């Protein structure tokens, strides 16, 4: 049995997405810029896909730029907003401490170019409020970028309120909606969103394709220079199969959003309730404003990496909060942002579910995780110190 519980990292493609992609490779394989019939069929597919994505976000098709994924969309959104800011002499950018690295690393780059970046602190329940954003906005703020939902701990942020604050103060608002698209309702009008990033592979679409929504009239800077594709804003022959697959996957996800939410939330809550019974454990993130599929725990006295390896041996594909960067094992910046101490942040586990997970799989996880945690603790010198009272428990 292989239980795939790492859907926040990427998802398996749906039959619908595959069925949309194959004709784009076998029949409509032309270059959409070509004038002949094969090219024009590809152009038609591209146009239809753009209309589909636009419908799912409630925007105009010409406000959609197809990119190579969420990271590129994030980069282009931030660099474009920064360019507008620089022209107006507005050099202050507001974001949060627990954004995806596609945001945080781009902000670091902008900081080196003279921008002042303010990362709002995250409450220990994993939330950032619209009031925090309102309080941080200044005369010289050119951009607010706040993620819709966090990829590690699943917090759903009050995007509509944050959008309203930004609109009222006349500040551009971008949201990284990569974890939200296909899973949570998106309406860029009602939610006052100026720019939004999404990525195909987080909702059963293909990898290497994403989209950036940009409200009409907001000028973009190119990340990729070259031909005149995507209204001249993103060069390179369009990834027509990928785009068609992503559009089909998004349409399907949006059509089944409510039933998927109900199903996945039930599985999630069963997992959270079961894993909470493990002694000296704590759930990370808010229980109420939470992505349907997200489960994230810290277990004291163990290393997340060892836990993952043993769970893999038990047929469970999961993830730890921590990212292995340049050889050193740094704990997750997200867990540190919500105030978890380093030692505790190291013992984290993220299980992210989709509508294809089953009760049986959840039962399997609930058998295996407590067993593996207990086994690792039985071998852990840190756990010995905690049990003997030499060190104090933090959870
Ligand atoms: C996955 C992810 C990204 C990056 O998307 P890619 O398509 O893999 O580049 C950005 N932001 C968040 C929140 C994500 O979960």
Structure tokens at 45: 């597919």
317 included as an active-site residue: no
Please tell me the total number of residues recorded for the chain in this structure: 395
- 142 CA from centroid of ligand 1 (Å): 23
Q: From atom 5 of ligand 1, which residue's Cα is the shortest distance away? A: 70
Q: From atom 12 of ligand 1, which residue's Cα is the shortest distance away? A: 178
With a CB cutoff of 8 Å and minimum separation 6, the contacts of 114 are 91
3-state DSSP helix/strand/coil percent for the chain, to nearest 5? 45, 15, 40
> How far from the centroid of its chain's Cα atoms is residue 211's Cα?
13
CA–CA gap between residue 188 and residue 59 (Å, rounded)? 7
Mutate to test the pocket of ligand 1, among 71, 174, 198, 354 (most ligand atoms within 8 A of CB): 71
Selecting among 56, 59, 298, 324, the annotated active-site residue is 324
Q: Is 177 in the pocket of ligand 1 (CB under 6 A)?
A: no
Beta bridge partners, 210, equal 67, 199
Query: What's the Rg (C-alpha) of the chain?
Result: 22
CA–CA gap between residue 220 and residue 234 (Å, rounded)? 9
For β-strands 116-120 and 92-96, DSSP reports them as parallel
Q: Is 132 in the pocket of ligand 1 (CB under 6 A)?
A: no
At 327 the pLDDT is 47
- 27 CA from centroid of ligand 1 (Å): 30
CA–CA gap between residue 51 and residue 40 (Å, rounded)? 16
- 178 CA from centroid of ligand 1 (Å): 6
Is the separation of the CB atoms in 122 and 338 below 8 Å?
Answer: yes
Q: Is 350 in the pocket of ligand 1 (CB under 6 A)?
A: no
At 330 the pLDDT is 81
Q: Is 145 in the pocket of ligand 1 (CB under 6 A)?
A: no
Q: What is the pLDDT along the chain (395 residues), one digit of tens a residue?
A: 899 999 999 999 999 999 999 999 999 999 999 999 999 999 999 999 999 999 999 999 999 999 999 999 999 999 999 999 999 999 999 999 999 999 999 999 999 999 999 999 999 999 999 999 999 999 999 999 999 999 999 999 999 999 999 999 999 999 999 999 999 999 999 999 999 999 999 999 999 999 999 999 999 999 999 999 999 999 999 999 999 999 999 999 999 999 999 999 999 999 999 999 999 999 999 999 999 999 999 999 999 999 999 999 999 999 986 555 444 568 899 999 999 999 899 999 999 999 999 999 999 999 999 999 999 999 999 999 999 999 999 99
Give the Å distances, CA to CA, from 303 to 119, 320, 321, 331, 332.
28, 9, 11, 10, 13
Look-up of token digits 């209204």: 231
CA–CA gap between residue 269 and residue 276 (Å, rounded)? 10
């Amino acid at each position: 049995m292989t239980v795939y519980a790492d859907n926040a990292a990427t998802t398996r493609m749906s039959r619908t997405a595959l069925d949309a992609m194959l004709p784009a490779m076998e029949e409509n394989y032309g270059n959409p810029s070509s004038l002949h019939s094969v090219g024009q069929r590809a152009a038609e597919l591209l146009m239809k896909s753009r209309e589909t994505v636009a419908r799912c976000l409630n925007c105009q098709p010409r406000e959609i730029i197809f990119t190579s994924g969420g990271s590129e969309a994030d980069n282009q959104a931030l660099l474009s907003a920064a360019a507008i800011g620089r022209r107006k002499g507005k050099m202050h950018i507001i974001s949060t401490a627990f954004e995806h690295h596609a945001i945080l690393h781009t902000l670091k780059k902008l900081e080196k170019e003279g921008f002042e970046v303010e990362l709002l602190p995250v409450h220990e329940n994993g939330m950032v409020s619209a009031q925090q954003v309102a309080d941080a906005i200044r005369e010289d703020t050119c951009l607010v970028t706040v993620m819709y939902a966090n990829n590690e701990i699943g917090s759903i942020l009050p995007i509509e309120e944050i959008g309203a604050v930004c609109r009222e103060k006349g500040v551009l608002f971008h949201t990284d909606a990569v974890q939200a698209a296909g899973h949570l309702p998106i309406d860029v009008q009602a939610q006052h969103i100026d720019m939004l990033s999404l990525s195909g592979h987080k909702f059963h679409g293909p990898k290497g394709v994403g989209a950036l929504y940009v409200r009409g009239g907001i000028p973009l800077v190119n990340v990729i220079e070259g031909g005149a594709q995507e209204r001249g804003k993103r060069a390179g022959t369009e990834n027509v199969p990928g785009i068609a697959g992503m559009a089909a996957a998004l349409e399907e996800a949006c059509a089944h959003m409510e039933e998927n939410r109900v199903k996945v939330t039930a599985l999630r809550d069963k997992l959270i309730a079961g894993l909470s019974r493990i002694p000296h454990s704590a759930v990370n993130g808010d229980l109420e404003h939470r992505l349907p599929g997200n489960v994230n725990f810290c277990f004291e006295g163990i290393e997340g990496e060892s836990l993952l390896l043993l769970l893999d041996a038990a047929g469970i594909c999961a993830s730890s909060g921590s990212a292995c960067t340049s050889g050193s094992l740094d704990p997750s910046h997200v867990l540190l942002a919500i105030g978890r101490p380093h030692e505790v942040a190291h013992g984290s586990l993220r299980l992210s579910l989709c509508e294809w997970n089953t009760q049986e799989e959840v039962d399997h996880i609930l058998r295996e995780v407590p067993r593996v945690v207990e086994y690792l603790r039985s071998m852990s010198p840190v756990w010995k110190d905690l049990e003997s009272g030499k060190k104090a428990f933090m959870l």
